[in-house]
Structure 1
Amino acid sequence: MKRKWTLVVLASTILAAGCSNTAEEPKAAPANTGELKGEIVLWHSFTQGARNDSIKQAADAFMKKNPGVTIKIETFAWSEFYTKWTTGLQAGQVPDVSTALPNHVVEMMDAQAIIPLDDVIDTIGRKRFYDAPLKEGSVNGKNYSIPLYSHAQVMWYRKDLLQKANVQVPKTWAELADAAKKVNNQPDLYGLSVPMGTGDMMATRFLNFYVRSAGETLITKDGSANLTSKAAIDGIKYWIDLYKAVSPKGSVNFKVLDQSTLFYQGKTAFDFNSGFHIGGVETNSPALLDQIEAAPIPKINANDPDQGIETSNIPLVVWKNSKHPEIAKAFVESLYEKESYIKFLHSVPAGMLPAMKDIAEDPAFLDNPTIKKFSNAVKVVSQAVDKGTAIGMEYKPTLQSGIITSQSVIEKMFQNIVLKDEPVEEAAKKAEKELNTLFKAAK
């Protein structure tokens, strides 16, 4: 049976050489050379709110500065985008420029569907960017994506609930389990929700937290799945135990929105997410805004070395089929102009952190009420951003990283353990074998 990722393999002549990218790249004009004329299409997944407005304003400003240019904007939810670009690639209907997820970029590079952006990066200033986000979109020494913003997974908690239960902020997984159990004694309040819903990657994410904290990875250096090492088995058992002890039973089917909503509504004491949690609480339960705080992901032992856990670097790409790559590149470059870039980041303050080191320290970026109020949380997330990678990309960009987060193999494993009483070791071995079969088919 063909899997989702094989859609790009079926796309016409541009799908020739896989990750080798040995075909000659089009010699597109660099950004900002001469008068720009033509129409480009922008796809992005900022479907609503202030950041959607910010992108529209940036496009309007670019068109005003370049009256010969028209930018047509189409928006798609992240859940729709994968299908949109893979089917569009087969039909030759892709945009000129788009947002993407790191896993998408790996497949786009594999399909030779996008062009290098080294000239844009160098014009903006390569040394201004953090290294890890650039590496996630690179192959054979060329950068095929440019990071727009970053965020990272950290532990969020309710200060008032911890104080009431007389527990300290957990630094280890054992301390988290103990704290979650102590606050799990009130009606309609859970110490922690453990999500396992298929069609999402939340159980994979939670297991990755534990495995990464042990210094291991879910995808090994040789590209194999790791679900049966001691750290992985311990992690599976840890989350199963917490699910039984403190989680709503319905979380066996929770996806990301179900999970987040519980914390937004004040129904969980602990959760894991990025700085986007601030806006969620502000919208749903503004009275709780003074009671939330962030801390690093727990460790197995408090004195264990810090490990990079999970960072999401959201990039932009320019498509090879573009008739006007010079306009697409010039528009991308314009998004990083200081005033416009900071305005975009402030559309989700503390949620979207700069992909550039100098902007992260710029007084104009830091001078925002939410960023000031949550300065400690922003610091915690920023430190996590600098260390982590996308799940499965700890060693290099791989197709396996997209498979492990999109095929719900780990989520089904957890459900089989919880709902069918399947032994942990047996379920883990079976899931590991299934992932390795999928990995092999994708090569």
Structure 2
Amino acid sequence: MIGCLVGAGPAGAVEISFWTNLTTASQANVIQKQIAECSAKQPGLAVKFETVPFGSMYTRLITAMRKNDAPNIMNTLEGAVAFMQAKGGLEPVSDLVDELGRSDFIASYLNAVSKNDKIWGLPDWALHQEVWYRKDLFAKAGLKVPRSWDELLQAAKALNQPAADGGQARFGFAVPMGRSLVAPQTYFQILYSAGGTVFDPTSGEYVFGSQKPLAQKALAFMIELYKAASPPASLEWSWAEYRTALIKGQVAMANEWGAVVQMAAEQNPEMLDKFDVFPFPGPSAGKKPVASLGGGYYYLVGKSTPDKVDASKKLLRCFYEPGRVAERANSRPIFAIPATKSAFHSDMFQANDTVKRFKPQLDVIFNEVMPTWYRYGLEAGLSPITGQIEATSFVGDAIQNAALGKLSVEAAVDQIDEQLRFQLEVLAR
């Protein structure tokens, strides 16, 4: 955990606290630099900056809120936005969004943190999931970009290659199913492509249980793809394992967040020119995928005294100059993509060497993936059910048991539905 005081002032100066979950030095250092730049524009403002690891964030938040000492500004994921809003710990930022220009923000990122006709977080940069694949292997096999689940399955099978002459086997598509986080992410990417959701995006009603045939179809396809074209060990894989497999040539395709670029640059640079992307397809070739799994990092303003709220919002106005948004995204290029159009198209973002190298892929992601995404439970705006899904493993347990044949697909979906309903009942108490 890094903690420091940025800026100073006379006795009685306003001091605000600023937390971020971004503990990677390259990202935290840019945020700290921008705090110094923007706090200098508010004479007398002091900012206490801390990096708070995601694993300890909720514990610290609960403790801080009990003491009426929650952070004045927080940089975190949408699940934490939902958690703090449900606890009454946030100030809405609708005024900031309108002041900065609502149309500049990609609408899907505002929708995810909206509730009661208010916006509770400023979108900063996008988490995005699409298929990263080996275009050299596609060309060699004469394959085209898949436009349906069946075409994806057939392409994955075609790219399977058994080990020969002491070499390694290659699998067509990584289907990771680590119980915590990864299995739900893999499953909901498939479900969203077919139009399934936890909540109805328009009415906000719980609909997963009424969509069981579609939910079963998505899970059956996921398991079929796993058995046909994914390493058996991927049943327990998390992010590091499938990214490593992709950059080492052990798999030809994977649903991925873009972090594989930095890993490849560090561990196997010759792989970079072989990567390309396409949106995860929907069930039918005649219809584009309805949505994808995504997410993002946001800036929140904690409920506090009027002077601290005002100082926090002034600091964030400065943070949202397009060049600064782009600079933050470039601290982890490709994995992080600006959630504002002005920052994405800015010279600061587009001049980055990695961005220039992956411009065709970024254009696909920005134009075809980022505008239509959901995070499980946030399809109709903020809901604390997202945090419950991510803090437990009931979705992953059901998926793994179905993949191992311990549960039927129907029973696994029933189990997920039962647990979702239970979590909603707990949250309603």
Bucket of the pairwise TM-score, normalised by the shorter protein: 0.7 to 0.9
- Report the counterpart of residue 430 of structure 1 in structure 2: 415
- Report the counterpart of residue 99 of structure 1 in structure 2: 75
In structure 2, distance between residues paired with 1:85 and 1:162: 47
Out of 92, 100, 106, the residue aligned to residue 124 of structure 1 is 100
Q: Name the Cα RMSD after superposition.
A: 2.4
In structure 1, distance between residues paired with 2:169 and 2:46: 52
Query: Could you tell me how far 1:428 is from its partner in structure 2?
Result: 2.0
Contact 2:110 / 2:119 at 8 angstroms: preserved in 1? yes
1:203 aligns with 2:183: yes
Q: TM-score, normalised by structure 2?
A: 0.88
- Report the counterpart of residue 359 of structure 2 in structure 1: 375
- 1:52-110 per-residue CA deviation (whole Å, 9 max, x = no partner) reads 22111112223444452222221123333233223332343422111121122122111
Q: Which amino acid aligns with 1:325?
A: V
In structure 1, distance between residues paired with 2:323 and 2:144: 41
- Report the counterpart of residue 193 of structure 2 in structure 1: 213
- 1:297-341 per-residue CA deviation (whole Å, 9 max, x = no partner) reads 112111114412123131111111467222222221211123322
- Report the counterpart of residue 355 of structure 1 in structure 2: 339
Contact 2:196 / 2:211 at 8 angstroms: preserved in 1? no
Q: Structure 1 266/82 Cα, relative in aligned 2: closer, same or farther at 3 Å?
A: farther
Contact 1:223 / 1:400 at 8 angstroms: preserved in 2? no
Structure 2 stretches lacking a partner, 5+ long: 1-11, 163-167
Out of 102, 107, 110, the residue aligned to residue 134 of structure 1 is 110
Query: Could you tell me how far 1:146 is from its partner in structure 2?
Result: 0.9
In structure 2, distance between residues paired with 1:195 and 1:93: 39
- Report the counterpart of residue 180 of structure 1 in structure 2: 156
Q: Structure 1 102/400 Cα, relative in aligned 2: closer, same or farther at 3 Å?
A: same
1:112 aligns with 2:88: yes
* Deviating 4+ runs (over 4 angstroms): none
Q: Structure 1 155/339 Cα, relative in aligned 2: closer, same or farther at 3 Å?
A: same
Structure 1 stretches lacking a partner, 5+ long: 1-35
- Report the counterpart of residue 287 of structure 1 in structure 2: 270
- Report the counterpart of residue 8 of structure 2 in structure 1: none
In structure 1, distance between residues paired with 2:365 and 2:210: 27
In structure 2, distance between residues paired with 1:287 and 1:366: 23
> 3-state SS of the aligned residue for 1:350?
coil
Deviates more, 1:363-372 or 1:309-318: 363-372
> 3-state SS of the aligned residue for 1:150?
strand
Q: Structure 1 419/217 Cα, relative in aligned 2: closer, same or farther at 3 Å?
A: same
Contact 1:211 / 1:235 at 8 angstroms: preserved in 2? yes
Contact 1:225 / 1:436 at 8 angstroms: preserved in 2? no
- Report the counterpart of residue 193 of structure 1 in structure 2: 174
1:48 aligns with 2:24: yes
Contact 2:323 / 2:343 at 8 angstroms: preserved in 1? no
- 1:149-186 per-residue CA deviation (whole Å, 9 max, x = no partner) reads 12321111011222333322222211221222222214
- Report the counterpart of residue 324 of structure 2 in structure 1: 340
Out of 353, 377, 380, the residue aligned to residue 392 of structure 1 is 377
Q: TM-score, normalised by structure 1?
A: 0.85
- Report the counterpart of residue 325 of structure 1 in structure 2: 309
Q: Structure 1 427/119 Cα, relative in aligned 2: closer, same or farther at 3 Å?
A: closer
1:243 aligns with 2:219: no
Deviates more, 1:371-380 or 1:157-166: 157-166
Q: Which amino acid aligns with 1:340?
A: R
Out of 237, 240, 243, the residue aligned to residue 257 of structure 1 is 240
Out of 46, 51, 59, the residue aligned to residue 35 of structure 2 is 59
- Report the counterpart of residue 427 of structure 2 in structure 1: 442
Query: Could you tell me how far 1:364 is from its partner in structure 2?
Result: 4.0
Count of aligned pairs: 408
In structure 2, distance between residues paired with 1:412 and 1:288: 34
Q: Which amino acid aligns with 2:218?
A: G
In structure 2, distance between residues paired with 1:406 and 1:261: 25
